[in-house]
Structure 1
Amino acid sequence: MTGTIYSLIPPLIMIVLVLLTRKVLLSLGAGIIVGALFIHQFNVPDSIKAVWNSFYGIFIDDSTLNIGNLYLLLFLIFLGMMTAFMTASGGTRAFGAWASTKVKTKKGAQFLPSILGIIIFIDDYFNSLAVGQVSRPLTDRHKVSRAKLAYLIDSTSAPMAVLSPVSSWGAYIIGTIGIIITDHELTNFQALGSFIHMIPMNIYAIVAIVSVFFVTVFKLDFGAMKKHEKRAEETGELVDPSRTDIPGDLKDQFKEVQSGRISHLLVPIVVLVLGTVTAMITTGIQSSEAGATLLTIFENTNVNLSLFCGGLLAVLIAFLFYIFQREPKSPSLKVFAEGTKSMLPAIYILILAWMIGTIIENLQTGKYLAQVVQESQLSLSYLPLIIFLVCGFMAFATGSSWGTFGIMLPIAGQIAVTTDVEMFLPALAAVLAGSVFGDHCSPISDTTILSSTGAGSHHIDHVITQIPYAIIAALVTVVGYLILGFTGYVWISLFASILLLLFIVLVLKRIVQ
């Protein structure tokens, strides 16, 4: 059943269960079990072993400690601790009060995470978590639902990372493009230059970012998002009160220090940013050969180790601020414990998402979808569109943009080179666009999970509320790629896509009023 159409069944079962039950752990668990059964032809002992190996491989890989995953899990715990100390010290409350005097409107509060999401483009994980920590005190004050905040974060993090050549994503993509160019002896193409030329062709990523500002300016809340925003506005409840497993939710477990200052929040976050970026540059230089450039630094940087270092420094600073406050306060150990506990829901989801990612990889779902593209005999004018749709479904089913990049970039490049080399860059750009679209819709995507974590939103609430907006951006992108495929004019296709997006937003605004 591996590498065939049947390999689509386990991820589809998992996704349908998520949407029907909204119980993400149950749905992920069901997908893991069904996938393991499919891999081993319903041999129960072998399937149980496959499930165990998918869990064991998260921590031990080829008899070696998988330190990268441990760094990321520890960073999440550090983030919870840092948030707890910033809250307990009164820094979050003080920043919220100060920001409310500067940002007077709910619309203005929503611009903060949107703009920060564009500025912090070096890595999607870092973007998702850091932007949430800075923005949450302000958006909470202005009654922006956590689901809306998660959407604003998610729709700028991965799109910006995939558009920027100076990012962990950009470096990986440029390196992959370089290999493809070398393999096909394309003397007229250069890796970095090709990436730069592909930016306006990455229609979905650009449309997703623009849509964030359109949604904010025109206050376009519809579907499940409208329900969350209405509840936040009328009752002040920023999350569904029936939810209990919300990452980052401290539930008022300790008393806040009333004399807290803005610096008790800002300084730990600045330390987090500077510590992480410094570590990324340092590890990138250490892993690069002589004559390291900015591109090779980000290509070889150790993101998870950098997050760990930055997170550890930030926790230490937040802890020191707390213990030096003289006002009566909760015991430090209690704050540590509550901060750790607040991140457990996100950690559980992330571990199960990694497990099902391994199962889906063994099912060869991605390879089957790639084969479908290779064997299709459609007109070359439809090539960017077809690649976009297939990559979108592949990333949606597997939860991995990078996995889709790794499989589909060489295939898209090969198809273009053997048919019409003029379609080389549009085909590669469509891979990037489709991968980010699928990533936005997938409940098992790392970035989606971390965006809901950074925002303090229930994960499935974030998935359900974001999908309609992602689909609108995807429909606009479909039109853009049709224009690009038939005319070859990049900027016309991009501007037409943005104008179509604006038209849809205005029409929807009139409908949902």
Structure 2
Amino acid sequence: MIINKNVLAFGILLCGLCMALYVNFFTQQTWLEQSYLYDTYSTESGQSAYIYKGKEIVIKNVVPYAESPINQASLSKNQSTPRLSEQWVKKNDGQLLLLKPAFHYGFWSLLPALITIILCLLTKEPLTALFSGIVVGAFMLGEYDLTDKVLIPNLASEGTAALLLLYLWLLGGLLGIWSKTGAAQAFANFMTRYFVKGQRSAKFISWFLGVLFFQGGTMSTTLVGTTVRPLADKAKVSHEEMSYIVDSTASPIASILAFNAWPAYVQALIFVPGVSFLATESDRIKFFFSSIPLSFYSILAVLGTLLLSLNITRFSGKRIRQAHLRAQETGQLDAQEAKPLSAKELRGTNIPDGYKPHVLEFILPLLTLITIAVMTFFYSGTPEVNWAFGVALLMSALIALAKGMSLDNLIEGLGTGLKGVVVASVILMLAVIIGSISKQIGGGLYLVSLLGEQLPFWLLPVILQLITIIIAFSTGTSWGTYAIAFPLAMPLAWAMCQSQELANPELFMMVCFAAVLNGSVYGDQCSPISDTTILSAMTTGCDLMDHVKSQLVPASLAAGVAAVMWTALVYFVA
């Protein structure tokens, strides 16, 4: 008997809700101490302080570590909800740490992410799958008022509002204006005339731009996908190939060409007391760059997309090979039943009568966008993506008006752009919310806490890789995984160095570091609830689940080879 997919999906959701209620009423929370190290200094008045988001924060009410009610000993003794959400403590060696309590429900902490991923793969409807996962997570936390207690608080956060501004208004508006003015099509015609001679050259330019925009994450996927979409469509490159190239040259290249915000963020998470080569901020940044040659997954992922861009599909998997042949033989860029994330209105042009598109209408805003992002990065350490897209949008609008386009037509183009990305933006917002819930109920904490110090040392890198893959895949974030995994994995690796008396402890630590870094990148890249995955599909016009399924094989092949290389390296050298 064949079971209807919708009936099966409803049954899975119902079971998930029942299990969530069971967890909420009958499962005991396990509380764990989370410690955070900041680069502190003394102010002129003698107080300790640190810099956070460009502002000086003075540290007050510091207590000895042993007296804190949220240190691990106190949390283990009293498993009820702590009365403090955070507290600054001083250890015996004088080091200042910020303690925060966190909890998990054991295996149950993975339930919302598992329900989301299963429903996403089963129904190919990411909207309903994500919302189902959110409901399951909210029930586990005892939050039944989904609107006021779950959705609105998460959507009202600064980070979520910034995503909504960038990916709904700015990106959608820019794509809409380019569609109305024909700028994107003019760029595609220009590139086709002078540079793109077929599928291979279109894919190679896409790969090169992915390497060139090495800031990583959402900025790279958005910028590269938006830029290459028109020329790739004109060259009849399948959307599965394009979304894989865009996604696999975003975070992987950012961890190799790490002249971006990654080292500054990661170094704050990898301090281990007593380890000389991780003692200061400069030591930890040096350690990051010294570990880059060991980022085997990221290196293999970038090389794999290079081979694909050269039409060498042997390592790309069956789905990508089939997509390549389909586009080559039939000209169909999507599978028969695909549901691309971008609206049909953005797949063509609707140029007003008498308006003549010019390639500079695409190139000038794009160059302005890149310049602002790069210059603000070198000036402040963080690329101001909203500024970059905002100025590019304004420039595109002004050029169109200066060339004679009516205000009515311009507003129509903006509206078309907003309509074209609204579904993907909603998916993005729901992905952010479920990531927040997964972190709150401690899925990542539970996975890392499964590790012990009795493992053979040569198994630790690949186990750290697998753990971080699961965390990142379940939560859809690599940086969130770093915040969970590094403060636990690095001390564990150092303890193993000491207990098993390794001859080359620094190399072992570098391999474990690379395994966490790269495992998180892989999990984030392949997760259907990751913002970069969603944006790669959205900007290239690909069906989300077609993108996820097609890139799993080549990405997993690279991850598997990387695991073997890390294991062999520590076994024979460390």
Structure 2-normalised TM-score? Answer: 0.75
Partner of 1:230: 325
The CA deviation string for residues 471-501 of structure 1, in whole angstroms up to 9 with x for no partner, is: 1111111211221121228xxxxxxxxxxxx
Aligned equivalents of 1:171, 1:453: Cα separation in 2: 29
- Equivalence for 1:292: none
The one of 74, 83, 89 equivalent to 2:175 is: 83
Say whether 1:36 aligns with 2:138: yes
CA contact (8 A) 1:161 1:170 kept: no
Q: Is the 8 Å Cα contact of residues 233 and 333 (structure 2) preserved in structure 1? A: yes
Paired residues of 1:86 and 1:265 also in contact (CA < 8 A): yes
* 1:328-347 residue CA offsets vs partner (Å, 9 max, x unmatched): 89711110100111111221
Does structure 1 conserve the Cα–Cα contact (< 8 Å) formed by 2:170 and 2:393?
A: yes
Aligned pairs for 1:70-219 within 5 A: 70-76=161-167, 77-101=169-193, 102-177=195-270, 180-181=271-272, 183-187=273-277, 190-217=283-310, 218-219=312-313
C-alpha distance in 2, partners of 1:197/1:159?
A: 16
- Structure 2 stretches lacking a partner, 5+ long: 1-22, 24-103, 498-504
Is 1:446 the counterpart of 2:531? The answer is yes
Alpha carbons of structure 1 residues 84 and 241: separation in structure 2 relative to 1, 3 Å:
farther
Partner of 2:160: 69
Residue identity over aligned pairs, in percent, reads 30
SS of match in other structure, 1:474: helix
Q: What is residue 153 of structure 2 aligned with on the other side?
A: 57
Contact 1:254 1:330 in 2 (8 A): no
Q: 2:351 maps to which residue? A: 255
Q: Which moved more, 1:216-225 or 1:357-366?
A: 216-225
Counterpart selection for 2:509 from 406, 414, 424: 424
Partner-residue secondary structure (3-state), 2:250:
helix
Q: Higher helix share goes to which structure?
A: 1
Question: What are the residue-to-residue correspondences of 1:104-503 with 2, within 5 Å?
Answer: 104-177=197-270, 180-181=271-272, 183-187=273-277, 190-217=283-310, 218-220=312-314, 222-240=317-335, 242-243=337-338, 246-247=341-342, 249=344, 250-252=346-348, 254-255=350-351, 259-282=356-379, 284=380, 298=381, 301=382, 303=383, 306-326=384-404, 331-373=409-451, 375=452, 377-420=454-497, 421-422=505-506, 423-488=508-573
Matched, 1:23 2:117: no
Letter in 2 for 1:116: L
Contact 2:338 2:546 in 1 (8 A): no
What's the offset of the Cα at 1:57? 2.5
1 CA distance for matches of 2:274 and 2:148?
Answer: 41
- TM-superposed CA distance for 1:240, in Å, is 4.2
Question: Kindly tell me: are residues 54 and 487 of structure 1, through their superposed partners in 2, closer, same or farther at Cα, counting changes over 3 Å?
Answer: farther
Between the aligned partners of 1:258 and 1:235, the Cα distance in structure 2 is 32
Of 382-391 and 162-171, the range deviating more from structure 2: 162-171
Q: Distance in 1 between matches of 2:457 and 2:148?
A: 44
5+ residue gaps, structure 1, are: 41-45, 61-65, 285-297, 490-513
The AA in structure 2 aligned to 1:274 is: T
**Which residue in the other structure is 1:294 paired with?**
none
**Amino acid in the other structure paired with 2:409:** P
Largest Rg, 1 or 2: 2
Structure 1 pair 245/108, CA: closer, same or farther in 2 (3 Å)? closer
- Amino acid of the structure 2 residue aligned with 1:106: Q
Change (3 A) 1:255 1:12: same
Q: For the residues of structure 1 that align with 2:514 and 2:343, how far apart are their CA atoms? A: 35
What is the deviation of 1:147? 2.1
| Pairwise CA distance, 1:445 | 1.1
More displaced, 238-247 or 359-368? 238-247
Residue 289 of structure 1 corresponds to: none
CA contact (8 A) 1:32 1:51 kept: no
Which one has more relative contact order, counting CA pairs under 8 Å at least 6 apart? 1
* More deviation, 258-267/214-223: 214-223
Alignment deviations for residues 195-231 of structure 1 (CA, whole Å, 9 cap, x no partner):
1111011111111111111223313454332343333
Task: State whether residues 478 and 520 of structure 2, in contact with CA within 8 Å, keep that contact through their aligned partners in structure 1.
Answer: yes
State the one-letter code of the partner of 1:6.
Answer: W
Whether the aligned pair in 1 keeps the contact of 2:138 and 2:150 (CA below 8 Å) is no
CA distance in structure 2 between the aligned counterparts of 1:202 and 1:100, rounded to whole angstroms: 35
The structure-2 alpha-carbon separation of the partners of 1:480 and 1:50, relative to structure 1 and needing over 3 Å to count, comes to: farther
User: The residue matched to 1:331 in structure 2 has which SS?
Assistant: helix
Change (3 A) 1:397 1:412: same
Q: Is the 8 A contact 2:179 2:413 kept in 1?
A: no
8 A contact 1:7–1:364 mirrored in 2: yes
Alpha-carbon shift at residue 280 of structure 1 (Å): 3.6
Secondary structure of 1:310's counterpart equals helix
User: How far does the alpha carbon of each residue in 1:402-427 deviate from its partner, in whole angstroms, 9 at most, with x for none?
Assistant: 11111111212111221213422211
Find the aligned partners of 2:139 and 2:321 in 1 and give their Cα distance. 40
Query: How far has the Cα of 1:140 moved from its partner?
Result: 0.9
SS in 1 for 2:560: helix
Whichever residue aligns with residue 153 of structure 1, its letter is V
- Could you tell me whether the CA contact under 8 Å between 2:472 and 2:478 is conserved in 1? yes
CA-atom RMSD, angstroms? 2.3
C-alpha contact 1:164 1:170 (8 A) present in aligned 2:
no
Q: Distance in 1 between matches of 2:118 and 2:404?
A: 52
Please list the CA deviations of residues 133-157 of structure 1 after superposition, one character each: whole Å capped at 9, or x if unmatched: 2211221111112221111011010
Distance of 2:529 and 2:244 partners within structure 1? 16
1:219 is aligned with what amino acid? T
Asked whether the 8 Å contact 1:88–1:322 carries over to 2, the reply is no
Q: Structure 2: which amino acid aligns with 1:338?
A: T
C-alpha change, 1:327 and 1:78, in structure 2 (3 Å) is closer
Question: Which TM-score applies when normalising by structure 1?
Answer: 0.83
Q: Deviations over 1:237-261 (max 9, x none)?
A: 3234645562365154723676211
What is the CA-CA distance between 1:87 and the residue it aligns to?
2.5
**Separation of aligned partners in 2, 1:152 and 1:36:** 35
Report the CA distance between 1:163 and its aligned residue.
2.4
Q: Report the Cα distance in structure 2 between the residues aligned to 1:79 and 1:187, rounded to whole angstroms.
A: 43
Cα pair 2:113 2:474 within 8 Å, conserved: yes
Point out the more displaced range, 216-225 or 124-133: 216-225
C-alpha deviation, 1:6, in angstroms = 1.8
